[in-house]
Amino acid sequence: MGVLNITPDSFSDGGRFTVVETAIEQALSMADLGASIIDVGGESTRPNATPVSSKEEISRVVPVIKGIRSKSNVAISIDTSKPDVMKAAVDEGANLINDVYALQRPGALEMAATLGVPVCLMHMQANPKTMQDSPNYLNVVDEVSSFFTQRIAACEAVGITRDKIIIDPGFGFGKTLQHNLSLLAKLALFKRHGCPILAGLSRKSMIGEILNKRVEERLFGSVSAALLAVINGASIVRVHDVAETADALKIHNAVQGNY
Ligand code: 7PM
């Protein structure tokens, strides 16, 4: 899964046409380099990011989803927590809902059920503003696992069957470095839920902390972490550096007998 952020600040220019055209090109390039899913997001999850209305979020993502869909059959994931953004995106051809709130915002669960596409349920402690203030768990693996049990049950209660659910421990979302390392080390335990596991580690501060490197220096750490996640049971890795990660995973696949 390749990350595509469509926030005006994520492109140097800022003119709408340029933003949309650049985003579409970037998506097609990631697909070309080996991404099978493009994760399109119109609102930043950054702690101090200004909140975006659903109207604004739709106006950012819809032209990009339209453009990708008109030129490619690559799977598109919509990174949102808002029901009306989910609908607008799926109506334009998005194939998956990626929600860092795990469908806990009002109306999200029902909308996802109505739209009938697969969903990614990510674990987060607290919210993006406060999550890194004082992450606290008795046992992070157990607590994240019971969260999945609860959210999968909530999904099933509205008719989202388990075969449409992907689970994600939410690296960096209300977790210290030690919490993140425990989750990565024990990732295989989440297989008991019977859902594919998604892992997003790309360029995250846990890698920066271990290596003492700035975000633009985290490529090798990110590729290593993605490979480890796959070895430990992840089916999908959410990454910025598609070509480099694809190389690492091709080596893994070859060793697994798929060369
Ligand atoms: C600030 C904070 C900027 C967090 C960017 C981020 C994930 C995700 C993100 C993830 C799933 C980032 C994150 N991370 N969706 N969206 N899993 N499912 O580093 O780990 O990309 S945003």
Atom 10, ligand 1: residue with shortest CA distance: 200
204 lines ligand 1 (CB under 6 A): yes
Residue 208 confidence (pLDDT) above 60: yes
pLDDT recorded at residue 11: 57
Q: Are 78 and 57 in contact (CB under 8 A)?
A: no
Higher pLDDT, 143 or 44: 143
CA 120 to ligand 1: nearest atom = 18
Q: What is the mean pLDDT of residues 116-122?
A: 99
Report the 10 Å Cβ neighbour count for 4: 25
- Whether 238 is catalytic is yes
Atom 22, ligand 1: residue with shortest CA distance: 45
Residue 13 confidence (pLDDT) above 80: no
Q: What is the mean pLDDT of residues 78-102?
A: 98
Higher pLDDT, 78 or 14: 78
196 lines ligand 1 (CB under 6 A): no
pLDDT recorded at residue 12: 56
169 lines ligand 1 (CB under 6 A): no
226 lines ligand 1 (CB under 6 A): no
pLDDT in tens, 240-254: 999 999 999 999 999
What mean pLDDT is reported for the chain?
96
Residue 163 confidence (pLDDT) above 60: yes
CA 128 to ligand 1: nearest atom = 2
pLDDT in tens, 22-72: 999 999 999 999 999 999 999 988 888 888 999 999 999 999 999 999 999
pLDDT in tens, 228-240: 999 999 999 999 9
- The residue ranges of every structural domain in the chain are 2-200
CA separation, residue 137 to residues 16, 56, 157, 180, 197 (Å): 43, 36, 27, 12, 21
Q: Is 146 helix (H, G, I), strand (E, B) or coil?
A: helix
Which residue in 82, 151, 203, 238 is the catalytic one? Answer: 238
CA 240 to ligand 1: nearest atom = 21
Q: Are 118 and 166 in contact (CB under 8 A)?
A: yes
CATH of 2-200, one of 3.20.20.20, 2.60.40.1930, 3.40.50.10860, 3.90.1150.140: 3.20.20.20
Helix (H) or strand (E) holding 96: strand 96-99
Q: Is the dihedral of CA 249, 101, 116, 62 positive or negative?
A: negative
Which residue in 204, 213, 214, 250 is the catalytic one? Answer: 204
pLDDT recorded at residue 9: 67
Q: Compute, in angstroms, the gap from residue 157 CA to the centroid of ligand 1.
A: 27
- For the CA atoms of 152, 158, 164, 165, the dihedral, rounded to the nearest 10 degrees, stands at -20
